[in-house]
Amino acid sequence: MRKKFVLSVLFALVMAAIVFGSGQTAQASRVFVINKGHSLTEDHPTNLALIEMQKYIEEHAGGRIEFNLFPHGVLGPDRQLIEGTILGTMQMSSAATPSFTSYSPTFILFDLPFLFESTQQAREILEGDVGQEIIDIVNNGNHGFIMLGWGYVGQRHITNNVRPIHTPEDIVGMRIRTMENPIHLASFRALGANPTPMAFAEVYTALQQGVVEGQENPIANIYVMRFQEVQRYMSLTGHLIAPQVFIINTGFWNSMPADLQEIMIEADRVRQRTQVGFMREYEAEKLGIIAQRSTVNDLTREERAAFRAALESIYKENRYIIGAELVDRVIAAIEGQ
């Protein structure tokens, strides 16, 4: 009897080892296909940086990850890309923070106007402890996606056909196209402007026909949409920095072995580092082209401070929605630089 029992145990252990080993072999031999969609153009710094990410994966994953890029919205607009990633119909996507506020109020932080003075300042905060805290908050929210890291598409600036903007008084009564975002709309109303949300594709014609007098966007968007052809002035207000959020489907991520997850994390760091350099070069080049058609002025630190003071009510109204402690830590980190 004892001999039979020992043989049974040995048989069970052998079978378990075979099953476990075959599972490991299957996982090791599986090719993880990642389809990554975004809404920006092939020559945009975001796509150029993703190509560098793709190269890193190809060099280090030993053929176990197939990373496919789909730029220019070929897989759909930002909202559809995010939903597809959550549902698992695609594996990875990215969009600016306003597209994620419905999933986590933490992202409303980046709708606060004049929060950061520059993209460099935003990077220093987001790539430090505070930025990691935000990622942890998001990833603990069971949204169906894992946030890998941040991206940067530049600060948002105002163009218009009325006058250069130096003070809040300069935009009083001005009809300005904005995103359909409640905090953006409230911010421009607080400054005395008349914000008008409309589809991005309609803005050029609206500016040309005088339906609106101005709009606000990053330099890359202004150049790509040729707004300089129908706008006399561009003021480098830098009133918003809406970083990009790069996400991957939770189930897909959890199915990847630890070594491939590490490769993906490092590949995303490569993407993040190279994107900053590409964006800096791209913006400098495109701003020079814009300046040939529009009069460009920069705001002084004092002028920016005047705008920030005029928008204090926006901070008070949204502080507790975002999370008072987080808002205070971000502001303290900025002031401590």
Chain mean pLDDT for the chain:
92
CATH, range 96-337:
3.40.190.170
Model pLDDT for residues 160-211, shown as the tens digit of each residue? 999 999 999 999 999 999 998 999 999 999 999 999 999 888 999 999 999 9
Give the integer Cα–Cα distance in Å for 124 and 102: 26
Cite the DSSP H helix spans in 35-140. Answer: 45-60, 78-87, 119-126, 129-139
Contacts 24+ apart (CB under 8 A), 221-227: 222/157, 222/159, 222/286, 222/290, 223/286, 223/289, 223/290, 224/41, 224/44, 225/200, 227/159, 227/203
Q: What is the pLDDT of residue 16?
A: 44
Q: What is the pLDDT of residue 277?
A: 93
The answer on pLDDT for 19 being more than 60 is no
Helix (H, G, I), strand (E, B) or coil at 5: helix
Q: What is the pLDDT of residue 12?
A: 45
Q: What is the pLDDT of residue 27?
A: 55
Q: What is the pLDDT of residue 18?
A: 45
Q: What is the pLDDT of residue 13?
A: 45
User: 254: burial class by Cβ within 10 Å (0-12, 13-18, 19+)?
Assistant: exposed
Higher pLDDT, 273 or 6: 273
The answer on pLDDT for 4 being more than 70 is no
Question: What DSSP state is assigned to residue 42?
Answer: T
The answer on pLDDT for 2 being more than 60 is no
Which of 90, 35, 100 lies closest to 242 in space, CA to CA?
100
* Residue 301 Rama label (left phi>0; alpha psi -120 to 50; beta): alpha
Helix (H, G, I), strand (E, B) or coil at 249: strand
State the CB neighbour count (10 A cutoff) for residue 77: 13
Average pLDDT over residues 44-50: 95
Cite the DSSP H helix spans in the chain. Answer: 2-29, 45-60, 78-87, 119-126, 129-139, 182-190, 203-209, 219-224, 250-255, 258-290, 301-310, 312-322, 324-335
User: Is the separation of the CB atoms in 326 and 134 below 8 Å?
Assistant: yes
Model pLDDT for residues 23-33, shown as the tens digit of each residue? 555 556 799 99
Average pLDDT over residues 96-117: 95
Model pLDDT for residues 219-265, shown as the tens digit of each residue? 989 998 999 999 999 999 999 999 999 999 999 999 999 999 999 99
Distance of CA 61 to the CA centre of its chain: 26
Q: What is the pLDDT of residue 7?
A: 46
Burial 109-133 (b: 16+ CB within 10 A, else e): bbbbbbbbbebeebbbbbbeebbee
In this prediction the pTM is 0.86
Give the integer Cα–Cα distance in Å for 247 and 252: 11
Show the tokens assigned to 141. 């929210």
The answer on pLDDT for 36 being more than 50 is yes
Average pLDDT over residues 90-108: 95
The answer on pLDDT for 69 being more than 60 is yes
Model pLDDT for residues 56-65, shown as the tens digit of each residue? 999 999 999 9
Q: What is the pLDDT of residue 201?
A: 85
Average pLDDT over residues 285-308: 97
Model pLDDT for residues 152-165, shown as the tens digit of each residue? 989 999 999 999 99
State the CB neighbour count (10 A cutoff) for residue 194: 14
Whose structure tokens read 């250069």?
Answer: 164
Give the integer Cα–Cα distance in Å for 219 and 264: 30
Q: What is the pLDDT of residue 25?
A: 52
CA distances to 57, 107, 258 from 262, rounded to whole Å, are 11, 26, 6
Where exactly are the structural domains of the chain? Answer: 96-337
Give the integer Cα–Cα distance in Å for 175 and 205: 14
